Amino acid sequence: MQSPPSYPREEKDTRRRNPNSLPLSTLGTMSPSDRSVTWTTSIPSTSEPSWPKSWRAYACWLGCFFLMFNSWGLVNAYGTFASYYVAHSLAGEDQLVLNLIGSTQSFLVLLFSAPVGRLLDAGHFRWVIGTGCLLTPLGMFMLSITTPNSPTAEGNYGYIWATQGFVTGLGMACYFVSSSQVVATWFPHRKGLAIGFVACGASIAGGIYPTIVRYLVTSIGFNSAVRLVATVVTITSIFSFIFATPDPKHNHPQPQSWRAMKTWIDMDAFQNKSFCWFMAAIAFLFFGFYPVFFNLEEWAAKEGYGTRSHGMKDFKFKIDDGSVVVLAGRDPIQTFWLLSIMNGSSTVGRICMAAFSDKVGPLNMHIGTTAVSSLLILLVWSFAHSTTATIAFCVFFGGVSGAVIGLPPASVSNILSNSHAGSELQRNAPTLMSTTSTSNPPPPLSLNDTNNDANTIATSTTDTPHPHAKLGQWIGMLYTGAAIPSLTGPVIVGHLISRYDNYLTVQIWSGVCLMLSAACMAVARFYLPCQDGASTIAIFKIWAREKARMAKGACGKGGGGIRVVGQAPTRVGSQAPSQTASTEKVGGVSQAPTRVGSEAPSRSASVEKVCEVEAESEKVTDVV
C-alpha cells in the first residue's frame, strides 16, 4: 500500500489556512492530478445571507446615499446656479469662466479619489467623512455671504469660485469614494444593487437642489435660498457621519509605510492592458459628459425651447438698506425643468442598469450605454428643433447617462476579477490539462460575478490575495486620472461657445468624446482574459489542441512527443541519466528515480502513453 506523500510544513500550514482547499485527511486517497488544483464554484455560500439582517447595514446604506447626494448631486445642480449667474451676478463674465466653477468641483472630487480611497482602506473613514461634513456646508454658507442678494448687483467671481468651487469641492471629494466603498462592505452579495441605489443620490439631488433654488430665489432671494440648501447639506451630512460606517468584520490593512509610492499607486495596474484602456475611456468620458449638464439650460434659453424671462409673475428682492427691487416677469431659471427631468430620468436609469448589469456584465453594459448616449447627443440633441424633442432628449439621455456615470466602479471590479481569474487559469491550466482524467472538469468562469467577495474562481493550493483587495486603490487611481479631463472639458466647451456663439460645438464635442470613450471601453473588453466563460473555454481548447498536435507528431514520426505527468523522465542512448538520478517532483508529487535499463520505460511505451494523452485531449476538446 502506497503511503501518502509528505508535504513541507509551509504547504501544510497553507492548506490549513486556505478555506478553499480540501482537508488533509483526504489527501492520501487523492490522485496527484486531483491535488494539483482545487476548483470552487461561484455559488455564494449558504452560510452567509444575501441580505444583511442588521439595521446598521441599511442605516449605512442611507447614509452613503446622502454622501453621494451631497457630492455629485451638487455638481449636477450647478447648471441652475450657472443660469442665475449668467442673468444676474456674473452677467458680464465669459461662459468659459462660468463653467470653471462647476469643473473645479468635479476636478477636486476626482483628484482626491486615490488618497481618499487609500485612507478608507486603512480604516480612517471617520476622519475622511468628518472633514467632508465640515467643508461642504461651510462652502455653501460662505457662498450665501459673499454673493450679493440683489439681482441687479454685480457679484465677485473670485469669491464665488473660492466658496462654491474650491471649498465645497474639497468637501465633496471626501464624500464621493466613501459613498460606494463603505456600503460595499455590508452588501458583498448585492454590491451592484447597493452601489446603484447609492448612485441615485446624485441624480435625485440634481433634481431637488435646482427646484429649491428655483422657487426660493423668486420669493426670498438668492442668499436665503443658498442658506436653505446649506442647511439641507448640513443635516444630511451629519446623518452620514453617524451611520455611514463600514461593517466591523471588514478588514482594514495598514500600509507598511505611508511614504512609500506603492501605498498610493499600484504600478501593477499599469501592466494590465484592460485597465489602461478603461482609464483612457473614463478620461474621454469626463471630457464630454458634464458639458451637457452645465450648458443645457443656456442652450434651451438661446434656442427658445426654455425661458428665463416670460410667463412668470413679478417678484421682489429686499436689499440690505431696506429698499425693494421689483423685476417684472424675469425668471432666470425657468429652464431648470429640463435639468430636473434629465436628473430624474437618470435615477431610474441608474437602478435599472445596475440591476441588469449583474446579468450581462458591468463592462458590457457600460460599452452599450456609452455608445447610445453618444448617438443621442449627435443625432437627437443636435437636431432637436422643438420643446417636445428637447424634453425627449432629456428623458432618454438622462436614463442612459445614469448608467454611464455610475458603472465605472463596477467595471473596474469586473476587470480586476477577470484579470485575476485569467492569471489563475493560465497558471493552473497546464497541470489541469496534463491529467489523464476528465471526469471532474472545472466549472465555467463567469464574467458577471462581481458582487461576491467570497467567490473564488480558481485557487491553487497556495494562498492568493483576493482580487478585490486592490479595488478601492484601482478605483481611486481611475478617477484621479480623470481629474484633468473633468477640469478642462467644460472649460474648452465654454471657450468654443464664446468663440463661435453656437451650441452645436457643445453637441459635437460631447458626442465625439463619448464615442471615443465607448471605443476605448471596447478595446478594454477585448483585452479581458476571461469573457463570460468564453475565453476560459478557449484556453482549454488551446491546451487540448496543442497536446493533440504534439501527440500526433509523436505517433506519426516515432519521436518528439511530450512529457506526461506520471511518467518519469527518460532519455535514450548516450543521453540516458546516470544510475544515481535524483528524485524529481512532477506535479507536486515525489517520483521515484528512473534508471536506464530494464526498469526504464521503453520508447515505444512512451509513444503509446502520448497517444493515450492524444485521445484524452480529443475528448476534452469535444467537451469544451
Question: How many Å apart are CA 166 and CA 204, to the nearest integer?
Answer: 23
Sign of the CA dihedral with 55 first, then 59, 65, and 71 last: negative
State how far the alpha carbon of 25 is from the alpha carbons of 16, 21, 31, 530, in Å: 11, 11, 13, 34
- Let me know: does 177 contact 113? Beta carbons within 8 Å: yes
Question: How many Å apart are CA 278 and CA 271, to the nearest integer?
Answer: 13
- Let me know: does 147 contact 160? Beta carbons within 8 Å: yes
Question: How many Å apart are CA 538 and CA 416, to the nearest integer?
Answer: 20
Question: How many Å apart are CA 416 and CA 466, to the nearest integer?
Answer: 10
Q: Identify the structural domains of the chain with CATH numbers, from first to last.
A: 58-246+267-417+472-532 (1.20.1250.20), 536-573+595-623 (no CATH)
**What are 106's three cell numbers?**
468635479
Summarised one tens digit per residue, pLDDT across range 60-113 is 999 999 999 999 889 888 888 888 888 888 887 887 888 889 889 989 998 998
- Let me know: does 337 contact 305? Beta carbons within 8 Å: no
Question: How many Å apart are CA 41 and CA 424, to the nearest integer?
Answer: 14
**What are 586's three cell numbers?**
512532477
Sign of the CA dihedral with 88 first, then 89, 94, and 98 last: negative
Question: How many Å apart are CA 87 and CA 428, to the nearest integer?
Answer: 66
pLDDT of residue 141: 94
pLDDT of residue 397: 93
Question: How many Å apart are CA 329 and CA 151, to the nearest integer?
Answer: 13
Summarised one tens digit per residue, pLDDT across range 8-26 is 444 444 444 444 333 433 4
Question: How many Å apart are CA 130 and CA 125, to the nearest integer?
Answer: 8
Sign of the CA dihedral with 142 first, then 147, 148, and 151 last: negative
Q: What angle do CA 504, 506, 511 make, to 5 degrees?
A: 100
Summarised one tens digit per residue, pLDDT across range 425-438 is 555 555 544 444 44
State how far the alpha carbon of 131 is from the alpha carbons of 12, 38, 134, in Å: 47, 46, 5
Burial class (CB in 10 A: 0-12, 13-18, 19+), 319: middle
Task: State the helix-helix crossing angle for 387-406 and 362-375, rounded to 10 degrees.
Answer: 150
When the pLDDT of each residue in the chain is averaged and rounded to a whole number, the result is: 72
pLDDT of residue 556: 53
- Neighbouring-strand partners of residue 458: 39
Summarised one tens digit per residue, pLDDT across range 314-369 is 444 445 555 555 444 444 446 778 888 888 888 888 877 777 776 788 888 899 99
- Let me know: does 346 contact 400? Beta carbons within 8 Å: no
The percentage of the chain sitting over the pLDDT mark of 70, rounded to a whole number, equals 62
Summarised one tens digit per residue, pLDDT across range 201-239 is 888 898 889 888 888 888 888 889 999 999 999 999 999
**What are 346's three cell numbers?**
437618470
